[in-house]
């Protein structure tokens, strides 16, 4: 049995990018530890959604715990930093935000968990955090440094396969329109994802897409039933979320791995 630590920026990130590999690891008998840098204080929530006196971060912690149980993560920890908001917003510079945290400090906290768990594998994000969010970029920096401190050699940077999405953008857009869903236009966004040529691992998680969707539903404050995540037709969802993509330094060129825990 191996131990995989999956490191994320905010509540709900875990199920979108790595929900399949987390569930796959759990069903194969491995231990999975979920670590989240922030409690998602900058998320948006519909008016009247929260109970009287309830803070958004409290709800998002509860939602993360529910999602972790669905996915099979046996332990969930928060590093305690504040959500930095989208790039260029005042929340970026707020004292205590993850974006302003010294990398060495945050990496030390994560490395302590990696050592405690005797982790074999760490997942974090690519160097642009998938789409340029400051907290996601910081997950990349902190994750790589923590792996160095803890001596973890098997580090997978979760990413989005830009070419995979763009190849079927027309079909996905047509399906979304037929279902009355507004899909984001990613065709001209260079900051979104990575080209397939730099991706080294592709994990088929289609057996777990229903579990991923259930975990997404656990994050009801951020992912409504009307969102494209949940309203997307099943076939489109399987295409968009049925493979999870990673970059591992020293691997490639091309996709050379299909299982993050192979041989462990």
pLDDT tens-digit map of 63-83: 999 999 999 999 999 999 999
Contact, 102 vs 141, CB < 8 A?
no
Please give the pLDDT value at position 81: 98
Could you state, in order of their start, the residue ranges of all structural domains in the chain? 3-247
pTM summary value: 0.94
Contact, 137 vs 105, CB < 8 A?
no
Contact, 10 vs 83, CB < 8 A?
yes
pLDDT tens, residue order, the chain (264 aa): 999 999 999 999 999 999 999 999 999 999 999 999 999 999 999 899 999 999 999 999 999 999 999 999 999 999 999 999 999 999 999 999 999 999 999 999 999 999 999 999 999 999 999 999 999 999 999 999 999 999 999 999 999 999 988 887 766 667 666 666 666 655 555 578 999 999 999 999 999 999 999 999 999 999 999 887 898 888 888 988 999 999 999 999 999 999 999 999
Q: How far apart are CA 41 and CA 27, in angstroms?
A: 32
Q: For the chain, what percentages of helix, strand and coil (3-state, to nearest 5) are there?
A: 40, 15, 40
Q: Name the residue among 4, 224, 221 with its Cα closest to residue 114.
A: 4
What secondary structure letter does DSSP report for 82?
B
Q: Name the residue among 197, 211, 217 with its Cα closest to residue 242.
A: 211
What secondary structure letter does DSSP report for 207?
G
* 160-162-166-167 Cα dihedral, nearest 10 degrees: -90
Tell me the backbone φ, ψ of residue 8, rounded to 5 degrees. Answer: -135, 165
For 148-183, b/e burial (b = at least 16 CB within 10 A) is eebebebbbbbbbbbebbbeeeeebbebbeeeebeb
Tell me the backbone φ, ψ of residue 212, rounded to 5 degrees. Answer: -60, -45
Contact, 244 vs 125, CB < 8 A?
no
> What CATH number labels 3-247?
3.40.50.10320
Tell me the backbone φ, ψ of residue 209, rounded to 5 degrees. Answer: -65, -30
Q: What angle do CA 160, 245, 174 make, to 5 degrees?
A: 50
């Amino acid at each position: 049995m191996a131990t995989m630590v999956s490191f994320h920026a905010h509540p709900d990130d875990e199920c979108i990018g790595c929900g399949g590999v987390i569930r796959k690891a759990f069903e194969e008998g491995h231990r999975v530890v979920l670590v989240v840098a922030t409690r998602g204080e900058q998320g948006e929530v519909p008016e009247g959604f929260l109970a009287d006196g309830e803070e958004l971060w409290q709800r998002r912690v509860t939602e993360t715990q529910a999602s972790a149980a669905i996915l099979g993560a046996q332990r969930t920890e928060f590093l305690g930093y504040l959500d930095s908001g989208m790039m260029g917003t005042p929340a970026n510079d707020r004292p205590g935000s993850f974006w302003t945290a010294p990398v060495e400090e945050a990496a030390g906290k994560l490395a302590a968990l990696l050592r405690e768990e005797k982790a074999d594998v760490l997942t974090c994000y690519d160097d642009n955090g998938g789409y340029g969010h400051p907290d996601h970029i910081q997950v990349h920096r902190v994750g790589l440094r923590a792996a160095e401190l803890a001596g973890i050699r098997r580090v997978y940077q979760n990413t989005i396969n830009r070419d995979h999405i763009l190849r079927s953008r027309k079909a996905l857009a047509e399906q979304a329109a037929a279902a009355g869903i507004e899909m984001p236009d990613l065709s001209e966004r260079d900051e979104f994802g990575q080209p397939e040529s730099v991706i080294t691992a592709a994990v088929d998680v289609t057996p777990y897409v229903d579990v991923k969707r259930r975990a997404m539903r656990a994050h009801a404050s951020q992912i409504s039933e009307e969102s494209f995540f949940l309203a997307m037709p099943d076939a489109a969802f399987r295409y968009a979320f049925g493979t999870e993509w990673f970059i591992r330094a020293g691997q490639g060129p091309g996709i050379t791995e299909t299982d993050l825990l192979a041989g462990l």
